[in-house]
Each structure stands twice: as C-alpha cells, then as structure tokens.
C-alpha cells in the first residue's frame, strides 16, 4: 500500500474517533466502550495489511480493543507524524565541461537531499550524459511499461557544449530523476540505485584494494547515507558497505569506530545468519570486542552456534570479502 493512502486512512480514522469523543456526553460503560474500539481495530487491520518501505517497522503501539478513545486519538497522532514519507529531492545546480585527452564531455553536478527537514547530510555526485543514457536504456529493458511516458533528452549533433543546451539538460535531467524516483518499483530497482551510488563505491573499493584506507573511508562515509536512504526497504543491502567501513577503520587502527559500524552491520544481519558477511563479521567483532575490553562471549556463542549448524566450509575474512566487491 502506498504511503499516501495509508496516511489518508489514518486521517479518516482520527476524524472518526474525534467525532465519537465530541458526541459523547456521559462516560460509557465498559461494554459500550469496547464496541466502537473493536470496530476501529478491525478496520485498521483491513486498511493496513503491510507497511511501506519508509514506515518505521519498530512501532511499539497498535490499536486494540483495550484502548480508550483518548488513547486511540493519541495513537493516531503519533502514527500521523510517523507516516510522513521520507522523500529525496534532486537538484542539478551546475555543470562543468571536461576535456580529457581526445574526449570532451559535460559533467552534471547532482545534489540529493531529504525533504521535510533540514538535511545536513546531502549527497553530491557527478554524472555525464552517457551515464544518464545508459540508465535510461537499462530501465527500458526492465520497466518498459512504466517508462512509456518518460522522455529523455535527445543527443544533438552540434551545440552540446553551449550554455543554452547545458542549462536545458540540467532542468531536463532534474525532472527525469524526480519522475523516476516517484515510481516505487523504479526507485527501489538495483539499476536506479546503482546509477546513484556505484561509481563512488567502485572508486572506494579500488582505494581499499590499493591500501588507501583513508581515501576509501572518506568516500564510503559519503555514500553510505545515500545508500541507506535508497535501500530503506532492504537494510541488508548496505551490509557490504558497512563492513568495508569496518575494514578501513580497523586497518587505520580505529577499533572503536570499527566496532561501532560493525554493530550496525550485525543489527541488519540478525535474521540473516546465512549471509556471506555474517561469520566474517562476527569473527572480526570478537577480535575488536576483546581489544576494546567489551563483552565478546555473546559474540563467541553466536559463532559457535553457527558452526554447530553448518558444515565446515572455507570462510573468507572480512577483508578478503571486501576486496572482492566491485571487481570489474
């Protein structure tokens, strides 16, 4: 169910509860009070069979027949605040012409920020026309029906580097990204997410493989926020990046920071013990916990428990896994 319809359902329910409160002049008996509340509880289950990828899955409250009308009102106020979908806004404020050996092209600066509040963690990337063109071709292969009415700026034989054409394309690409993001299945697709994150991740992993851990860490920390926002409905997707950050911090002798990001990765693998990163991460976390004087016995128990359930296999270290990511 889309977030807008979910919010509308909650708004209608809140208004209905308000009418019940306004029309009540005497305190109802327990039997009378239970009847409307049971009906509301049933309606919620019917209208909200599942939550969207942007909904907080850890909500502690739920409407039920034991709630008073006042409690239901407060519940829906909280739900209404939570149901605001976190959206991303795309801006292309500038572009630059790049001349490299015999090639010449325009790089468009894309700023990606979160709407609804001040975003101090905006992401800045650069892409050229051919990158957008490749994205469009890839999306047409998988989402031909959804892409029927999506227009793409055509190439021109001349004038590609004029200020007029560059400004036109800045606006066109901004609208293009906004439209793609508005379509749920496209914004969740690997092809769309890769367009916005893969070049930076490839560069970061290249630095990691070359032992440039400071540079790799700098890029990874910049991209992880955007990657988390784009994969909100699939938290496991960011585990490789989190683990690469762990590897960089560990090799830079920052065990506390390595442990912090390791905990974030482990929390996403809590119900995914068969994931290829789970055991290498556990093993690294045990070493870090011991070094930091933290509890490592619980981590050791999880590792031993996994070993008793699985046949002995060759398990890569966390660093060995990391250097294998994004190998062309």
pLDDT tens digits, one per residue of 101-133:
888 999 999 999 988 666 567 899 999 999 999
Would the pLDDT of 267 be above 50? yes
Contact yes or no for 323/205 (Cβ under 8 A): yes
CA distances from 22 to 28, 120, 202 (A): 13, 43, 60
What is the C-alpha separation between 273 and 266, in angstroms, rounded?
10
pTM value is 0.73
**Running DSSP on this structure, what letter comes out for residue 237?**
G
The answer to whether the 88-188 and 212-324 domains have the same CATH topology is: no
User: Across all residues in the chain, what is the average pLDDT?
Assistant: 80
Of 26 and 234, the structure prediction assigns the larger pLDDT to 234
**Architecture category of domain 212-324 in CATH:** Alpha Horseshoe (1.25)
Q: Given pLDDT bands bounded at 50, 70 and 90, which one contains residue 308?
A: confident
Question: Looking at residue 309, what is its pLDDT?
Answer: 77
Question: Looking at residue 3, what is its pLDDT?
Answer: 47
Question: Looking at residue 46, what is its pLDDT?
Answer: 36
Would the pLDDT of 321 be above 90? yes
Nearest to 131 by CA among 195, 177, 174, 191: 195
Question: Looking at residue 43, what is its pLDDT?
Answer: 38
Give Dmax over CA atoms of the chain in angstroms: 84
- Domain residue ranges of the chain, discontinuous segments joined by +: 88-188, 212-324
The CATH number of the domain covering residues in 88-188 = 3.30.1520.10
Q: Given pLDDT bands bounded at 50, 70 and 90, which one contains residue 31?
A: very low
| Residue 236: partners with Cβ closer than 8 Å, 6 or more residues away | 268, 269, 272, 275
Q: Given pLDDT bands bounded at 50, 70 and 90, which one contains residue 74?
A: low
Question: Looking at residue 60, what is its pLDDT?
Answer: 39
What is the C-alpha separation between 166 and 97, in angstroms, rounded?
10
Would the pLDDT of 201 be above 80? yes
Per-residue pLDDT, averaged over 212-229, amounts to 96
Would the pLDDT of 179 be above 80? yes
Share of the chain above pLDDT 70, in %: 71
């Amino acid at each position: 169910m889309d977030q807008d319809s979910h919010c509308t359902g909650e708004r209608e329910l809140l208004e209905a509860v308000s009418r019940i409160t306004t029309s009540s002049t005497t305190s109802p008996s327990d039997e009378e009070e239970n009847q409307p509340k049971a009906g509301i509880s049933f309606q919620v289950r019917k209208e909200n069979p599942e939550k969207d990828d942007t909904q907080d899955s850890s909500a502690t409250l739920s409407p039920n027949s034991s709630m008073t009308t006042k409690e239901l009102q407060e519940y829906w106020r909280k739900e209404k605040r939570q149901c605001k979908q976190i959206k991303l806004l795309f801006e292309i404020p500038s572009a630059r012409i790049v001349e490299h050996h015999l090639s010449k092209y325009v790089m468009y600066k894309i700023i990606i920020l979160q709407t609804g509040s001040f975003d101090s963690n905006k992401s800045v990337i650069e892409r050229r026309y051919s990158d957008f063109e490749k994205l469009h071709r890839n999306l047409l292969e998988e989402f031909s029906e959804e892409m029927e009415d999506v227009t793409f700026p055509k190439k021109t034989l001349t004038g590609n580097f004029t200020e007029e054409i560059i400004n036109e394309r800045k606006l066109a690409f901004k609208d293009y990204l906004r439209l793609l993001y508005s379509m749920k299945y496209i914004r969740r697709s690997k092809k769309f997410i890769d367009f916005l994150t893969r070049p930076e991740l490839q560069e970061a992993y290249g630095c990691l493989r070359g032992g440039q851990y400071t540079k790799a860490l700098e890029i990874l920390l910049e991209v992880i926020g955007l990657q988390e926002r784009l994969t909100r409905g699939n938290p496991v997707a960011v585990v490789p990046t989190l683990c690469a950050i762990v590897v960089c911090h560990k090799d830079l002798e920052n065990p506390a920071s390595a442990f912090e990001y390791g905990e974030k990765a482990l929390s996403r693998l809590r119900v995914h013990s068969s994931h290829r990163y789970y055991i290498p991460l556990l093993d690294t976390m045990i070493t870090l916990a011991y070094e930091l004087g933290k509890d490592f016995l619980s981590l050791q128990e999880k590792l031993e428990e996994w070993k008793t359930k699985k046949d002995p296999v060759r398990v890569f270290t966390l660093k060995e896994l990391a250097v294998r990511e994004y190998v062309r």
